Chains A and B, each alone.
Chain A
Amino acid sequence: MAVNSAFHTNNLSSIATERSLYQNLIKEAIQIYGHDVYYIDRTSVAEDNILGTDVLSKFETQVPIEMYVEDAESGFGGDKELMTQFGLDNRNEITFVVSKERFQELTKQFQIESGTDATSSGSILLEDASVSQTGNSSILVTTTPFENNFYLLSETAATDADRPLEGDVIYHPVLDKMFEVGFVDHDAPFYQLDNNPVYKLRCRQYEYSSEIINTGIAAVDAIEDDLSFDALLYQITLEQNSAVNENFRLERFIDDGLLLDETDSDNIIGEDDSTSVGVSLLLETGSYLISEEYVVGTQSTNTIGDKTAQNEIFQSQAKTILDFSEKNPFGDAGA
């Protein structure tokens, strides 16, 4: 008993053209039935080699790619919205299907080395008119056909190492939600033509922990703006908009309004750093001044982050409940 030679060569693997047809059909189906989503890479910053975590991992590079949502007849999978002791928890789960070939095209883009240009999203986009975008070159490939953008691609053949990675996130603009890749299913459907043309990304809605998000996509970057509890985002910075050593000047000035050093009456000037613009005010102790806008837990519109937190509410209510008129030998909490 041997395999059908019309579909297989030398009884080992399927014919390349059949594999290619199978792969292209799936790619086209995803492009028809799927949506453009943003695949956002996680950048590891400070991996803890003891506890095996990275509390500072951030998201700064993204690429748009089409994906198909699998098994969505009854909405999201998972437990969906749950009430827990921590409030509302959206335990939505979803499975994205992405063409392996399309994804690997994206991973073959030349990336800007980390730190060389913090404002770019990572890959090198060819400028209009710098090359003919009408011709098809073996190394000039459009990766976002709807926008007709062209990128430089590496000639190195992609491998399964160029795959979606667990921990990366996907932002779906239609659903307006961000999902974290929990597991990349690489073997379904199972080698029907001796190849697997898709990755299935088992995702759950992202649990945000004040990570730095700077992708250049306004809707995604708004997550950090709206939900981050990082107090250092609320540092008071100097107002100068150019690199100058500027005198500290009183807002309602007396005489010339400059702050003078108590010892020698010299003018007090900003940090002696001609390269920094809008630097933070650093106290002598090394701490920063934090704007009064950093308020956690008032359940009002001016509170930052989670609107259900009650930190400040407890603080204000406790003023009439806790008594500090006498020294407590067992503790000195509060106030």
Chain B
Amino acid sequence: MLGQSFYHETMRKVVVSFGTLFNNISIVRKDNEGNTIQSMKVPLAYGPRQKFLVRLQQDPSLASKVAITLPRIGFEITGMSYDSTRKLNRVQKFKKVKTGDSNKLEMQYMPVPYNLGFTLYIMAKQSDDALQIVEQILPYFQPDYTLTINDMAEMGIKKDVPIVLNSISYEDSYSGDFADRQAVIYNLDFTCKFYLYGPVTSQSVIKTVQADSYTDLPINTPAREQRFTVTPSPAGAEADDDFGFNETSSFFQDSKTFDPKTGQDK
């Protein structure tokens, strides 16, 4: 029943947008005199990738000399839920002239509001590296940061999508056995308030509207007496033109009625 194939890549776009927020974070390392000795961009990657791809990308020849390179940032989708507080009127529609065919109109119902959960993971070897990264992120979220996303480019729709920082947790496994690995990891939980769109349908543009008036009830099979017709002005106007309307009233006494199947008066 629902199987109309469509895919707007909305969540993929949200993932790219979220990743772009954090793709240009740099840290510096200074000596005790305050001179900058190292400066580096922090690598970022979407976490849930296929295992075989990760294995083949990072250690294809089993020659990796080190365990991992740090610092680094990873993120993943953690959940999705309907957001009833942003519910829109479900019968309203977006309409747009079809690209390449101005006699067609594309139509789409209002999008559905959803919240997409993200967790951003920041891992560093030293506390100072991690603190630099976190400090460059937190001031931008009060508690939200809004991006404008072309989430439905086919219909020319763009939405302001707030990304809300919900919580921060921190783990530093410094205590315990000396042989155990020490990891400094910050977890930042976000909610991205985006919309999901349904299918786009197209229909021909209505260029004539005709209403017939009768002087009796339908049970008495009356003939039309008056016809009100509206057409665009100029007549050759297309849907994306600037046009007006011609309104015509016609009166009949020929006892005919309009046949919608043939479009003729009979």
Show the binding face of A for B, using Cβ within 8 Å.
Answer: 45-48, 51-56, 81, 83-93, 166, 171, 176-178, 182-183, 202, 204-210, 219-220, 222-223, 227-232, 296-297, 299, 305-312, 314-315, 317-318, 320-324, 326, 328, 330-331, 333-334
Cβ-closest chain B residue relative to A86: B74
Q: Does B54 contact A (CB under 8 A)?
A: yes
Most chain B C-beta atoms within 10 Å of own C-beta, residue among A86, A219, A315, A330: A86
Give the CA-CA distance A312 to B128 in the complex, in Å. Answer: 25
Residues of chain B contacted by A334 (CB below 8 angstroms): 20, 147
Q: Does B162 contact A (CB under 8 A)?
A: yes
Q: Does B219 contact A (CB under 8 A)?
A: no
Which among B21-29, B82-90, B92-100, B205-213 touches the partner chain? B21-29
Contact A48:B128 (CB < 8 A) given known A87-B74, A315-B24:
yes
Which among B11-19, B224-232, B242-250, B256-264 touches the partner chain? B11-19
Asked whether A207 lies within 8 Å of B68 as measured between CB atoms, the reply is yes
Show the binding face of B for A, using Cβ within 8 Å.
Answer: 13, 16-17, 19-21, 23-24, 26, 29-32, 36-49, 51, 54-55, 57-59, 63-72, 74-76, 121, 123-129, 131, 140, 144-150, 153, 158, 160, 162, 177-181
Asked whether A205 lies within 8 Å of B66 as measured between CB atoms, the reply is yes
Query: Could you write out 14 A-B pairs with CB less than 8 Å apart?
Result: A53-B127, A81-B59, A86-B121, A87-B47, A90-B64, A171-B65, A207-B68, A232-B38, A297-B45, A306-B45, A318-B19, A321-B150, A323-B148, A323-B158
Please list the 4 inter-chain residue pairs (A to B) with the smallest Cβ-Cβ separation, ordered nearest first: A309-B43, A183-B178, A330-B146, A229-B40
Distance to closest chain A CB from B251 (angstroms): 52
Distance to closest chain B CB from A324 (angstroms): 7
Residues of chain A contacted by B128 (CB below 8 angstroms): 48, 51, 53, 55
Partner of A311, one of B23, B64, B65, B148: B23
Asked whether B41 lies within 8 Å of A232 as measured between CB atoms, the reply is no
Partner of A88, one of B54, B124, B131: B54
Distance to closest chain B CB from A86 (angstroms): 5
Query: Apart from A183-B177, A328-B147, what 4 extra A-B contacts exist at CB < 8 Å?
Result: A83-B55, A183-B178, A219-B65, A306-B45
Residues of chain A contacted by B17 (CB below 8 angstroms): 318, 321-322
Distance to closest chain B CB from A288 (angstroms): 9
Asked whether A55 lies within 8 Å of B129 as measured between CB atoms, the reply is yes
Distance to closest chain A CB from B143 (angstroms): 12
Asked whether A227 lies within 8 Å of B69 as measured between CB atoms, the reply is yes
Asked whether A230 lies within 8 Å of B129 as measured between CB atoms, the reply is no
Residues of chain A contacted by B76 (CB below 8 angstroms): 85
Main SS class of interface, A: mixed
Give the CA-CA distance A90 to B181 in the complex, in Å. Answer: 12
Cβ-closest chain B residue relative to A307: B57
Contact A166:B178 (CB < 8 A) given known A208-B69, A209-B129:
yes
Asked whether B21 lies within 8 Å of A333 as measured between CB atoms, the reply is yes
Residues of chain B contacted by A86 (CB below 8 angstroms): 45, 47, 68, 72, 74, 121, 123
Give the CA-CA distance A47 to B125 in the complex, in Å. Answer: 14
Cβ-closest chain A residue relative to B72: A86
Residues of chain A contacted by B42 (CB below 8 angstroms): 229
Partner of A90, one of B16, B45, B67, B70: B67
